[in-house]
């Protein structure tokens, strides 16, 4: 088992928080919520499972089905759906997903926004370790039924 996560040569080293499985774990999100939830009853301060969404925008029905399933079938105390966004520093618009440029005005002056630990923040302020974690996240592509909107 490899205990150090990330890339040592690039200094992108991070650790896995709390009772969370590694962010790169390929378990489907229901299994992740179930496995991590096994520990939640013994964490008095509370624990949370992140469901990384990347650029997907699941339908409300898909999210509702997921929440009902994990409520009925797991011991998990909390889940958080965690999408990613790109904010354009030129026109000010925000769109789903992490992009290299703005789909509205074409500007390359953009910043990503997503959750680290429990908070949404701009990626430009992250250290190398957090950036390494972001690269390795399993974003559950194809698991949820998406609505195709920007």
Shortest reach from residue 136's CB to Zn ion, in Å? 28
Residue with tokens 């969404």: 53
**Comparison of 48 and 102: residue with beta carbon closer to Zn ion:** 102
Shortest reach from residue 126's CB to Zn ion, in Å? 22
Q: How far apart are CA 56 and CA 143, in angstroms?
A: 10
Shortest reach from residue 149's CB to Zn ion, in Å? 17
Shortest reach from residue 111's CB to Zn ion, in Å? 11
**Comparison of 105 and 145: residue with beta carbon closer to Zn ion:** 105
Question: CB under 8 Å to 45, separation ≥6 — which residues?
Answer: none
Q: How far apart are CA 23 and CA 135, in angstroms?
A: 9
Q: Which residues bind Zn ion (CB under 5 A)?
A: 88, 90-91, 102, 104-105, 107
**Comparison of 69 and 104: residue with beta carbon closer to Zn ion:** 104
Interstrand relation of 5-7 and 12-14 (parallel, antiparallel or unpaired): antiparallel
Question: CB under 8 Å to 39, separation ≥6 — which residues?
Answer: 19, 47
**Comparison of 68 and 105: residue with beta carbon closer to Zn ion:** 105
SS3 143: coil
């Amino acid at each position: 088992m490899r205990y150090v996560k990330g890339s040592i040569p690039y200094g992108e080293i991070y650790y896995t928080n709390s009772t969370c499985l590694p962010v790169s774990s390929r378990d489907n999100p229901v299994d992740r919520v179930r496995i991590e939830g096994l520990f939640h009853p013994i964490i008095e301060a509370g624990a949370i499972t992140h469901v990384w969404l990347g650029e997907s925008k699941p339908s409300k029905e898909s999210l509702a089905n997921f929440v009902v399933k994990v409520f009925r079938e797991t011991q998990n105390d909390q889940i958080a759906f965690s999408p990613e966004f790109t904010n354009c520093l030129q026109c000010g618009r925000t769109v789903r997903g992490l992009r290299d440029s703005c789909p509205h005005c074409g500007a390359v002056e953009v910043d990503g926004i997503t959750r680290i630990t429990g908070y949404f923040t701009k990626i430009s302020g992250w250290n190398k370790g957090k950036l390494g974690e972001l690269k390795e996240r399993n974003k559950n592509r194809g698991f949820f039924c998406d609505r195709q909107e920007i």
